[in-house]
Structure 1
């Protein structure tokens, strides 16, 4: 397993700055965000100079680009905002190979117009599902055009909010471009240890070879997020089950402070 971290964990607006910091903290790769190039997370365009700088920094530091973050609210009720998100996704996708990856990560969004990470009753409606599937038709076409994979992360407050919903997406989309980014902290908020392990095991069994990346953030017993290794997620069990399922992709941590990054790298490397 390749150990990675969100590039945005580190301060800086140039790829060399953040990739050097990632390397110094003990990471092999990053999930890159275009904000680390000083152009925003969802820029309307990605200049050749910006993508070339990412590739050069990756080559010079030896830190791989495991994926590019390109999340936008896929069911935003404002059609113009949804279209703007899709346009930014397209701009990033066009430069993905130059930057050194073919994996684009995204979440499916919420009907909440102000916060795509906040739950909304409409998220579970047939209308929201159909809207999301229409967006995926467009994204799959982009992925086909640029030979990319779409790494979809289940999030409790989004349309794809569980392993079962992710499996339904795979089944209905019928595209080998769809892959899954699995984060055990996203599968439940509050649960007893055995129940948490059961839910995680079921997700890995169900999604199997579709898992292209694993995330490593944690939760406290009250459900709030925590730095990996400081909460209730059983990472030893999670990583063991991933290995047993044949997963050998990147394990990427996030939701931590830069000062915590070296300790988390030591913790995760000892398990992976």
Structure 2
């Protein structure tokens, strides 16, 4: 596995500075956000100069662009907002191969009109699923034209809230371009240690053939998100299970302070190098 980090962990709008700090903290790759190049996170267009700056920064630092962030609310209650997000996603997808990646990450969204990461009771409505199917079909058509994979992530607050829902979407769309980002901290809010191991094992087994990237953040006993190694997730077990299903892609950490980046790198590198953890 390649150890990575969200580029936005490091402040700034100069790609070379951001990737240098990622490298110096011990990371081989990043999940890149266009805000790190001085653009909106989801720009309406990406000019050649911006792409060249990112490519040059990656080459000079040796830090690979593992994925680009292309998140927008794919089931926003306003269809015009969804359409604008799709157009902007298209710009990200078109630029991705030129930046050395063929993976773009998505947010399946929520009916909340103001926050794509906030739960809304209407997420469970059949109309939300229909809107997601339509949005995903449109996005996949663009991705297929550019040879890019789109990664959904099970998130408790989103319409794809569980591994089961992710599998349902994959099966419904039947596109090899639809893949998964798996973050163990997004699979539960509170769970016993044994219960959590079971939740993670089930998710890895269910989605193992589609996992293109793993995320690494943690949760405290109270359910709040925490820095890797400071919560209840057993990352030795998680990483061992990923290896067991043949995953050898990027393991990308986020939800941490800039000052914690080097410490987290050492912690995760130690696990990766030791190869410890249960696989049963």
CA contact (8 A) 2:107 2:116 kept: no
Match of 1:90 in 2: 90
Off by >3 Å, runs of 4+ in structure 1: none
Question: Per-residue displacement from partner, 1:66-101 (whole Å, max 9, x unpaired)?
Answer: 000000000011122111111110011111111110
1:1-272 maps to which residues of 2 (within 5 A)?
1-272=1-272
Question: Per-residue displacement from partner, 1:37-62 (whole Å, max 9, x unpaired)?
Answer: 10110111111111111111101100
Number of aligned positions between the proteins:
272
Taking structure 2 as the reference length, the TM-score comes to 0.96
Question: Per-residue displacement from partner, 1:115-163 (whole Å, max 9, x unpaired)?
Answer: 1111111101111001000001111101111000011111100010110
Name structure 1 gaps, 5 residues minimum: none
2:105 is paired with a residue whose SS is strand
State the superposition RMSD in angstroms: 0.6
Distance (whole Å) between structure 2 residues aligned to residue 97 and residue 216 of structure 1: 25
1:95 is paired with a residue whose SS is helix
2:42 is paired with a residue whose SS is coil
Question: Per-residue displacement from partner, 1:178-202 (whole Å, max 9, x unpaired)?
Answer: 0000000000000101001100000
Distance (whole Å) between structure 2 residues aligned to residue 266 and residue 12 of structure 1: 24
2:223 is paired with a residue whose SS is coil
